[in-house]
């Protein structure tokens, strides 16, 4: 599909590709399962472009129930939950993250370590950095922002069911879980994961499927525009959108929520972008633009 056609307006008419997987990770893929590579931290030094969070992005620790500063901008009164995927501490807490939790349709691991670039820049670090940047942008728009984890808190996890409940308890107007994929070299591009219709056990997504699709479509369009990253060439049939019913973070959500896989950390072209602080700022901007668009019209 021609990139010029994938503008936000056209995205609203995309046909969503149903891709219900059964992987162990609570997102599209992990490095260990998708590429056979180890997901353990590398001894290589992390890229110098892994800059600190932008000024003014400080806020509440994960799960402490405190709001970050909501202002008087266009999103005043709106609550956004940001869920940075995985946790750097998961590498040292294998027993805890391997415990099974109920995701409605079945039971699944509490969490996984996530993937990393070949040079050892972990998904957990990437997602937290982008989350900080996104938080700062949303706060400038007046939103109250909460994060499921921040800094070293909690030490591992949270489990995928806890991440979903965090957004539910916060009564979020929108929630986004940030990830990066771990597929094979040559597989590249972003995709936004939408919740499918699930009504089983503790899961009932029927009320959020529509608004979540709207949220995800807007984020996909703005992410493409702001970053120039193409839609995934290995899932989603070029649309940049995938629907799944095997993810606890989506199945158990009662608020509009999507996942975004920002790129493939195991692909050399994508990893060059993901390890760039300047590009991560563009990624945060794309997410912010999509969330702002959704909230201003919801």
In a domain, 63, yes or no: no
Mean pLDDT of the region 276-293: 98
Consecutive H or E run containing 204: strand 203-204
Out of 109, 123, 261, 297, the active site residue is: 261
In a domain, 143, yes or no: yes
20 or 200, higher pLDDT: 200
In a domain, 58, yes or no: no
pLDDT at 84 over 70: yes
**Confidence (pLDDT) at 221:** 98
Calpha distance 56→152 (Å, rounded): 18
CATH classification of the domain holding 236 = 3.40.630.40
Helix (H, G, I), strand (E, B) or coil at 180: strand
Give residue-wise pLDDT tens across range 88-137: 999 999 999 999 999 999 999 999 999 999 999 999 999 999 999 999 99
**Confidence (pLDDT) at 70:** 65
Which structural domain, as residue segments, surrounds residue 283?
Answer: 16-31+75-297
In a domain, 89, yes or no: yes
**Confidence (pLDDT) at 298:** 82
Task: Return the bridge partners of 17, or none.
Answer: 242
Give residue-wise pLDDT tens across range 16-30: 333 333 334 465 443
**Confidence (pLDDT) at 72:** 80
Helix (H, G, I), strand (E, B) or coil at 248: helix
CA torsion sign for 97, 101, 106, 111 is negative
Q: What is the 3-state secondary structure (H, E, C) of 31-47?
A: HHHHCCCCCCCCCCCCC
In a domain, 184, yes or no: yes
In a domain, 36, yes or no: no
15 or 114, higher pLDDT: 114
Task: Write the Ramachandran bin of 185: left for phi over 0, alpha for psi from -120 to 50, otherwise beta.
Answer: beta
Calpha distance 1→114 (Å, rounded): 30
In a domain, 2, yes or no: no
| Average pLDDT across the chain, whole number | 84
In a domain, 201, yes or no: yes
Based on the residue annotation, tell me whether 96 is a catalytic residue of this protein.
no
- Number of domains, the chain: 1
**Confidence (pLDDT) at 202:** 93
């Amino acid at each position: 599909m021609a990139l010029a056609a994938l503008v936000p307006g056209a995205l609203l008419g995309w046909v969503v590709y149903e891709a219900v997987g059964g992987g162990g990770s609570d997102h599209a893929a992990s490095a260990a399962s998708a590429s056979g590579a180890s997901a353990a931290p590398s001894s290589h030094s992390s890229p110098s472009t892994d800059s600190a969070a932008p000024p003014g992005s400080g806020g509440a620790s994960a799960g402490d129930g405190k709001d970050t500063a909501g202002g008087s901008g266009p999103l005043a009164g709106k609550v956004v939950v940001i869920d940075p995927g995985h946790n750097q501490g998961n590498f040292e807490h294998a027993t805890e993250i391997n415990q099974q939790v109920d995701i409605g349709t079945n039971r699944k691991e509490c969490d996984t370590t996530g993937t990393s670039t070949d040079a050892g820049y972990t998904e957990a670090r990437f997602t937290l950095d982008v989350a900080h940047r996104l938080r700062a942008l949303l706060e400038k728009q007046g939103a109250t922002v909460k994060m499921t984890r921040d800094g070293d808190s909690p030490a591992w996890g949270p489990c995928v069911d806890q991440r979903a409940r965090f957004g539910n308890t916060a009564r979020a107007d929108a929630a986004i879980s940030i990830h990066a994929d771990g597929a094979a070299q040559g597989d590249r591009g972003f995709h936004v994961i939408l919740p499918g219709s699930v009504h089983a056990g503790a899961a009932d997504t029927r009320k959020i499927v529509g608004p979540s699709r709207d949220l995800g479509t807007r984020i996909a369009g703005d992410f493409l525009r702001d970053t120039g990253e193409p839609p995934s060439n290995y899932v989603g049939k070029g649309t940049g959108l995938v629907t799944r019913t095997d993810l606890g973070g989506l199945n158990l959500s009662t608020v509009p929520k999507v996942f975004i896989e920002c790129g493939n950390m195991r692909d050399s072209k994508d990893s060059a972008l993901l390890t760039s602080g300047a590009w991560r700022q563009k990624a945060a901007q794309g997410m912010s633009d999509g969330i702002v668009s959704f909230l201003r019209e919801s």
